[in-house]
Amino acid sequence: MPAVQSRFVVRTFATLVFFSALAGQFWRSLFGWWGYGAIALVIVAGGIVALVKLKPDWMWPRFPKSLIGFLGLATLSLAWSFYLGASLIGVTLQWATTATALFLALCLTWPELLRTLAAALRWILALSLAFELIVAVFVRQAVLPFWVDYSGQDVPQSFYWSRGILLQGGPIEGIVANRNLLGFVALIAVIVFAVQLAAGTVRRGAAWAWLGTAVLVLLLTRSATVVFAAAAVDLALLFALWARRRSPEGRRPVYLAAAASVVVGGAGVVALTPWLLTLLGKSADLTGRLDIWRSVTELAVERPVFGWGWVSYWAPWVEPFQGLAVRRGVTYLQAHNAWLDVWLQLGILGLIVFAALVLSTLWRCWFLAVDRPRRGLADTEPFAASALLPLLLLVALLAQSLAESRILIESGWLLLVVLAVTTKRQQATNARMP
C-alpha cells in the first residue's frame, strides 16, 4: 500500500508539473509574477527532491549528449554575454525547467507520462471553456489579469486575459490568456487523446468526449500557427503509417515522397499564405512577425558565431532587447522563431548544437514510431498507438518553432527534454536486447 500511495503522489505531482508548464500564464494572471514564482519554485524543488529520493537510472549511455551540449553552451555563454545579469536569470531558468523535465522523464513510466499529461490537458481545456463561458455570460466584458494596474492607458487586445467573445465564436484565449498557446495545447490534447483512444487505455465514451472537446477548443482559437502545426502532424502520421507497412529496406519511396512533400508543401504555404491569413483574420505581415524577424536578423549578424548570450525570455529592461520588438504598444519577449532566437543568443555554434538536439531526437522518434519495438513504449499498448506519440508531439513542437520560440522555454523546452531523454533511454534499451 505505501508503494501504491507513493506512485499516486508522484503521478499527482507530475500532473501539476505538466499543468503549470502548459498553463503558466494562468498562474501569472491569477497571482501575478510573484505568486507564479512561488509556485514555480515549489515545483522545481519538488522535482529535484523526487529525483534524489526515487534514485532513477542515470546511466550516461542513456542520456542525450546533445542536450548536455546545449545546456553547457548556454551556461558557457555567461563568459561573453552582453547582459550578464539577465543571462544569469535565463540560464538558471533553463536548468530549473530541465531538472523538472528530468523528473518526468526518469521517474515516470511511459504509461504514467501519458496518463498525467492527459490529465493536465483535460484540466486546462475544461477550465478554459468554463472560464470563457463565465466571462461571456456573466461578466460580459473583457477581463484583464489580476494584480496589474492598466488605468490611464490604452490597453492592447493581447493584454486581456479573455475578451469574452465565446458566444460570438471566438477567438478565445482560455486560462492561458493567448489563443495561439491555447490552440497548441488543444492540438497536443488531440494527439494524446487520440492515442489513448486507439490504445484502449480509457473508456471509449470519455475518450471521444474529450477528443471532441479538444477539437472544439482548437477551432475556437482560430490560430494560424496551430493550423500549420496540425497539418504537419497529419503529414507525419501519414508517412509513419506508410513506413510501418514496408520493411526497412523498402522505405525508399516513403522517404522520397516525404522529401517531395516538404518541398511542395513549403512552396504551397508561401503561395497560399495571403489567402490563409485572410481566412484566419491575420495581417499580411504575420501579426508583426516579419518586422521582428528582420530586427532579430540584423542584430544576430553583429555577433554571428557565439551570439549575445543566453537569456531565454528576452529581458526588455536591457540592451539590445529594449525596444527591439514593440508593436501596437506590446513589447514582445521572443523572436517568434526558435531558430532565429538561438542564432541571436548563441550564434551559429548554438544553432548547430540545437539542431543536433532536435534532429537526433527526431531520428529516434521516427524509428521508434515505424519499427516495432521489442519492449518499452509499446509493451502493454497496441503498437499503432503508443509508439507514434513521441513523433507526433515533436513534429508539432517543430512546426510551432517556425512561428513561436516556445520550444526554448516553459512547456516547449520541458516536452523537448522529456522526448529527448525518454527516446534515448528506449533506444539504449533496444540496443541491448538480443
pLDDT digits (tens, 9 = 90+) for 392-405: 999 999 999 999 99
Q: Which domain holds residue 279?
A: 2-432
Give residue 6's pLDDT: 81
- How many angstroms from the chain centroid is the CA of residue 336? 13
Nearest residue to 348 (alpha-carbon basis) of 308, 312, 375, 319: 308
Give residue 130's pLDDT: 97
204: Cβ–Cβ under 8 A, 6 or more apart, which residues?
197
Q: What is the DSSP letter of 143?
A: B
Q: Is the pLDDT of residue 26 over 60?
A: yes
Give residue 115's pLDDT: 94
d(CA 371, CA 391): 12
Q: Is the pLDDT of residue 322 over 80?
A: yes
Mean pLDDT of 380-387: 60
Q: Is the pLDDT of residue 429 over 50?
A: yes
pLDDT band at 28 (very low <50, low <70, confident <90, very high): very high
Contact 236, 365 (CB under 8 A): no
Q: 199 by DSSP, 3-state: which?
A: helix
Cell for 22? 502548459
Instruction: Convert the pLDDT of each residue in 227-241 to its tens digit.
Output: 989 999 999 999 999
Contact 414, 99 (CB under 8 A): no
Give residue 148's pLDDT: 77
Q: Is the pLDDT of residue 14 over 70?
A: yes
Higher pLDDT, 284 or 222: 222
220-224, 244-248, 280-284, 385-389: lowest mean pLDDT where? 280-284
d(CA 394, CA 407): 10
C-alpha dihedral sign at 141, 146, 149, 153: negative
The position carrying cell 503558466 is 24
Q: What percent of the chain has pLDDT over 90?
A: 63
> Which H, E and C letters describe 69-97, residue by residue?
HHHHHHHHHHHCCCCHHHHHHHHHHHHHH
- DSSP H or E segment with residue 330: strand 330-331
Q: Is the pLDDT of residue 380 over 50?
A: no
Give residue 382's pLDDT: 45
Cell for 94? 533553463
Nearest residue to 108 (alpha-carbon basis) of 41, 54, 189, 48: 54
Total domains, the chain: 1
pLDDT band at 107 (very low <50, low <70, confident <90, very high): very high
d(CA 347, CA 339): 10
* Length of the chain as a residue count: 434
Q: How far is CA 130 from CA 10, 123, 164, 302, in A?
A: 28, 10, 12, 48
pLDDT band at 4 (very low <50, low <70, confident <90, very high): low
Q: Is the pLDDT of residue 433 over 70?
A: no
Nearest residue to 157 (alpha-carbon basis) of 328, 405, 323: 328
Q: Is the pLDDT of residue 268 over 90?
A: no
Round the average pLDDT of the chain to a whole number and report it.
88
Give residue 1's pLDDT: 43
| Overall pTM surpassing 0.85 (yes/no) | yes
Contact 368, 390 (CB under 8 A): yes
- How many angstroms from the chain centroid is the CA of residue 26? 16
Contact 161, 144 (CB under 8 A): yes
d(CA 258, CA 131): 41
Nearest residue to 358 (alpha-carbon basis) of 423, 266, 261, 306: 423
Give residue 31's pLDDT: 94
Nearest residue to 74 (alpha-carbon basis) of 230, 415, 317, 306: 306
- How many angstroms from the chain centroid is the CA of residue 394? 9
Give residue 155's pLDDT: 79
d(CA 303, CA 348): 9
d(CA 279, CA 179): 16
